[in-house]
Amino acid sequence: MLKSTTFFLFILFPFFLSAQDWKTLNANDAKLFELKSALAKMGAVKGDIKQEKAFAFLTEKLVSEGVFFYQKESKLRWEFKEPIEYIILINENSMRLKEEGEEKKYKGMNQILRQVKEIILGCIDGSIMSNSNYKTAFSTDGKSIRIQLQPKAKNLKEFIKQIDVEFLKEGSVLKKVTLTDSSEDRTDIKFSNVVVNQKVDEGAFTDF
């Protein structure tokens, strides 16, 4: 009996450890101020993106890969190259979308695109941390800072249940964004080869 209990504790030990890894941070914690001020100094960011969507009813994952470019204040190019070509261009107040070589203009999707814009830009520049539309919780595992956001509005809750944003503590670089929707499906967006404050050609935000 003792042996089996020890065995189970041994098996579960890594899970206890990982659960303890994230320590809650107070909203006034100095680490968060450091992160906010570092993000405020970021004029431009670019890097690679790898998005993995896990469906609750499927074993297979949907993997999309591409690049992103961001320039202050609100300029963004979000481009998936595989498995389909999909480009979102945000240039101040304008937003354009190209899918599979065709520019899209559809009215019914405006609400979704507005949310996508708010979430992506908010995660990159950190403004989502102080967005009053979300209930926020902060934590750290020593290497990263995690911000967990839950939408307050009913229409937003229908669209998304939770957003987890992780920044590397060193360099305050965006590491990962996890979107959990109301059906518990999760979308992980991992960022790599991130380069900060290197000038991005203006055409990246205007031309497909």
Partner 1 sequence: MKALLLIFSLLGCTIQLPGQQVDILPKGKEGIYKAEFNIRGTKINGFLAVKHKRNDALHVSFTSPMGNNLLEMQWKKGRWKKIYAIKKLGSRHVYGMMAEDILLLFAHYQYDKDFVDLGNEWKWKKKTLIPTFAEDNLAAVKVVSRRHHPTKTVKYKHRHERIANLSIYHQGFPFSIVLEPLKKK
Structure tokens, 152? 């307050």
Residue type, 54: A
With vertex at residue 126, the alpha carbon angle to CA 41 and CA 193, rounded to the nearest 5 degrees, is 75
Q: Interacting stretch for partner 1, rule CB under 8 A, among 23-31, 40-48, 55-63, 141-149?
A: 55-63
Closest CA to 147 of 110, 187, 177: 177
Cα distance between the two ends of the chain:
65
Q: Which two tokens stand for residue 87?
A: 């480009």
By CB under 8 A, residue 181 contacts partner 1: yes
Is 154 among the residues that bind partner 1 (CB under 8 A)? no
| CA–CA dist 121, 44 (Å, integer) | 12
Looking at residues 84 to 113 of the shown chain, list those that interact with partner 1 (rule: CB under 8 A).
84, 86, 88, 99-100, 102, 104, 106, 108-109, 111-112
Tell me if 150 contacts partner 1 by CB under 8 A.
no
Q: Where on the chain is the footprint of partner 1 (CB under 8 A)?
A: 51, 53, 55, 57-60, 62-64, 80, 83-84, 86, 88, 99-100, 102, 104, 106, 108-109, 111-112, 116, 159-160, 179, 181-183, 185, 187, 189
